[in-house]
Amino acid sequence: MMRIGVAGKGGTGKTTLATLIIVALLRNNHRPVLAIDADPNSNLAETLGVVAPKSLVEIVDEVTRNKYSIPSGMDKTQYLEFQIREAITEDEGFDLLVMGKTEGPGCYCYCNHLLREHMERLQRNYAFIVLDNEAGLEHLSRRTSRQLDLLFITALPDRVSLLSAQRICEMTERLELEIGEIKLVLNQYGKNFPQCSYVSTPLPVFFTLPFDEEIWQRSLNGKGLLDLPEDSNSYQVVWSNLKKILTP
């Protein structure tokens, strides 16, 4: 089982990359995949093109509000686990679990704890876990990504975005997270930005993800990427680089 995470500053194409990784794994028989949307601003279901399941936050809120509806013979922890398993969306070759967001200023600590617990329990059932993290640094301090075989950090080729990528690298070291490899991916390179070779990067660039008109149009029209054409430039770039890691 391989655990892959995607992190980065908001707006750097983090969720798009996570989706392309999932699509590449499915199309090349690296399945089953557990896709986890750990971003409170949940978009992974839409980017994949599937119906979003009930989120983990919604489940916790419902069970907390209706604690007297817990069936006899079950404690709260068992009932939560049952509800979370029921909420996982099952699709062809992959399942989807969504973290969700609170309606108020509440803390995500308990939900993050539940997410970590369920990742550990569920992971034995999957060949791959792909985790779309919250934008920025907060998910690292909550240790949502504490055990990963591979972490992709997305960035645009500009100073602010690359500084954010650098801080993510530094925090993974400071928190001593168990991450096998960290790879930097530059997004939309050569379309909306000049090829600025003078911008320093916190890591060697693993690959650059080119602007893709097809993906842009699908985003505008609310269409997912599961049926993205095989000749999509972005798909080809992601798969050609991903298989370098998967090939022994």
Would you list the domain boundaries of the chain? 2-246
Tokens found for residue 88: 């996982």
Kindly state the helix (H) or strand (E) to which residue 4 belongs, with its residue range. Answer: strand 2-8
pLDDT in tens, 76-124: 778 877 887 887 877 889 999 888 776 554 555 666 677 777 677 777 8
pLDDT in tens, 117-152: 767 777 788 999 999 988 765 656 555 566 889 999
pLDDT in tens, 18-77: 999 999 999 999 999 999 998 888 899 999 999 988 888 888 877 777 776 778 778 777
Cα–Cα distance for residue pair 35/74, rounded to 1 Å:
28
AA letter at 23: V
How many C-beta atoms surround the C-beta of residue 24 within 10 A? Answer: 21
Q: Among residues 11, 2, 44, 52, which one has the least CA distance to residue 187?
A: 11
What is the model's pTM?
0.88
Do you know the residue count of the chain? 248
Please state the separation of Cα 76 from the chain's center in Å: 28
Q: Domain 2-246: which CATH class?
A: alpha beta
Kindly state the helix (H) or strand (E) to which residue 65 belongs, with its residue range. Answer: helix 56-65
